[in-house]
Amino acid sequence: MTRPADAVPRSGVAAVQPAALQRLAAGLAVEASAALVRRGSSALTFMEVCGTHTMAIARFGLRDLLPPEVRLVSGPGCPVCVTAMGDLDKAIALARLPEVTLTTFGDLMRVPASRSSLAAERAAGADVRVVYSPRDAVEIAAGESDRQVVFAGIGFETTAPTVAAALLEAQAHGLRNFSVLSMHKTMPPPLEALLDLGETDIGGFVLPGHVSVVTGSACYEFLAREYGVGGVIAGFEAYDVLDALLRLARQTETAIEIEYGRAVRPEGNLVAQRLMAQVFEPRDADWRGLGVITGSGLGLREEYAPFDAERRFDVDAGEPLEPTGCRCGEVLRGVLDPAECALFGARCTPEDPVGACMVSSEGACAARYRFRGIDD
């Protein structure tokens, strides 16, 4: 069977996938049993650390296909969920400035901050606009020179290069009214922090496919080398995830593998890495649930100070307030199943979320919510 000229393997290839998936699931069951014997354990816990994987697993109902010995937990891979309250409050404080047009990805609009949300601020009269691309924010700045356009930069290494590129474009056009509030973070550091915490016996990581498009695979080698934990860089179709789990179970020597070869090169995207390094530098960042992790955040370099919203605007965001009873942190570390949180499904629902894990459609709690109640 040859690939139709226009088809790149994606969820549209439904005819091939269901049968193939059953086969992969069967293969996973076989490998998992063998792995348990080898490792002398009773269950395999794999952690995915990418919000888009959380979402894909929920959307495709993949948990239905996992053998009972394989446990799949969500880690801190949702950039919205791991954004600290204080950072969200800063974005809101900026949005309240009358001269500011706060541009943001849609993901951030409904996230509850200490006292408000961007959606609530917009309803109260703030100029908050949802954009699909940071380029759109630059375009707004170019077209409305009387507005101070601030872009709320969230996302990991997939997104940071796009923000870097947009910033350079703004600079090239001599724009004086564009700036970025960088809340960007990088992926490998929290994996190290998680393993250091040692709260869960993680048998392997399903590694983020699109972050890895940029970073390549070398940055994860330390997981295998220093912690004896393997990882497979996975794509986002149902078969990608199952194949990655199968490969993880099959590993006799822990290693970092690339399942998503059609998009990920071992060296990553060097141009994107260069742009990121040109505009950003590592700094400490506060991760919800994990606390401050050294060198895990991205801040704008000194020479781009005019484009740094934190340096340009003097805002008092107030003291960050964590909502009472919210256990997002434990969920993000993979130690608490969302259903075990007292607020889950009762006080905290997608319509009325308390924490970010429920409001973000790819937060572990929101994704878990979709599974409640339907039993076979």
How many residues are given for the chain? 376
Between 106 and 291, whose beta carbon lies closer to another protein?
A: 106
12 binds another protein (CB under 8 A): yes
**DSSP of 109-145:** TT---SS--HHHHHHTT-EEEE-SSHHHHHHHHHH-T
201-260 residues near another protein, rule: CB under 8 A: 208-211, 213-214, 238-239
SS3 182: strand
How far apart (Å, rounded) are the C-alpha atoms in residues 296 and 281?
10
Between 21 and 149, whose beta carbon lies closer to another protein?
A: 21
Q: Which residues sit opposite 102 in a β-bridge?
A: 128, 150
In the complex, the smallest distance separating the C-beta of residue 119 from another protein, rounded to whole angstroms, is 7
Distance of CA 328 to CAs 47, 58, 87, 220, 342, Å? Answer: 16, 18, 16, 25, 12
In the complex, the smallest distance separating the C-beta of residue 314 from another protein, rounded to whole angstroms, is 29
Between 129 and 311, whose beta carbon lies closer to another protein?
A: 129
In the complex, the smallest distance separating the C-beta of residue 286 from another protein, rounded to whole angstroms, is 19
67 binds another protein (CB under 8 A): no
Sorted by sequence, the CB contacts under 8 Å of residue 339 that are 6+ apart come out as: 345, 368, 372
134 binds another protein (CB under 8 A): yes
189 binds another protein (CB under 8 A): no
Rounded to an integer, what is the distance from CA 316 to the centroid of its chain?
Answer: 27
135 binds another protein (CB under 8 A): yes
Amino acid at 347: R
How far apart (Å, rounded) are the C-alpha atoms in residues 109 and 119?
5
Selected binder of another protein within 29, 88, 102, 109 (CB under 8 A): 109
In the complex, the smallest distance separating the C-beta of residue 212 from another protein, rounded to whole angstroms, is 9
260-289 residues near another protein, rule: CB under 8 A: 261-265, 269, 271-272, 275
Rounded to an integer, what is the distance from CA 44 to the centroid of its chain?
Answer: 23
What does the longest C-alpha to C-alpha distance in the chain come to? 67
Contact range with another protein by CB under 8 A, out of 44-52, 198-206, 225-233, 287-295: 44-52
Contact range with another protein by CB under 8 A, out of 37-45, 129-137, 285-293, 318-326: 129-137
19-38 residues near another protein, rule: CB under 8 A: 19-24
In the complex, the smallest distance separating the C-beta of residue 316 from another protein, rounded to whole angstroms, is 28
120 binds another protein (CB under 8 A): no
Between 230 and 239, whose beta carbon lies closer to another protein?
A: 239
How far apart (Å, rounded) are the C-alpha atoms in residues 137 and 139?
5
Burial 345-355 (b: 16+ CB within 10 A, else e): beebbbeebbb
73-92 residues near another protein, rule: CB under 8 A: 77-80
Q: Using alpha carbons, select from 51, 48, 42 the residue that is nearest to residue 80.
A: 51
How far apart (Å, rounded) are the C-alpha atoms in residues 12 and 328?
34
In the complex, the smallest distance separating the C-beta of residue 326 from another protein, rounded to whole angstroms, is 18
In the complex, the smallest distance separating the C-beta of residue 141 from another protein, rounded to whole angstroms, is 15
Q: What is the DSSP letter of 268?
A: -
Give me the 286-325 binding string for another protein, x by CB under 8 A, dash otherwise: ----------------------------------------
In the complex, the smallest distance separating the C-beta of residue 43 from another protein, rounded to whole angstroms, is 21
354 binds another protein (CB under 8 A): no
Using CB atoms within 10 Å of the CB of residue 226, give its burial: 0 to 12 exposed, 13 to 18 middle, 19+ buried.
exposed
Selected binder of another protein within 31, 87, 89, 107 (CB under 8 A): 107
Between 7 and 43, whose beta carbon lies closer to another protein?
A: 7
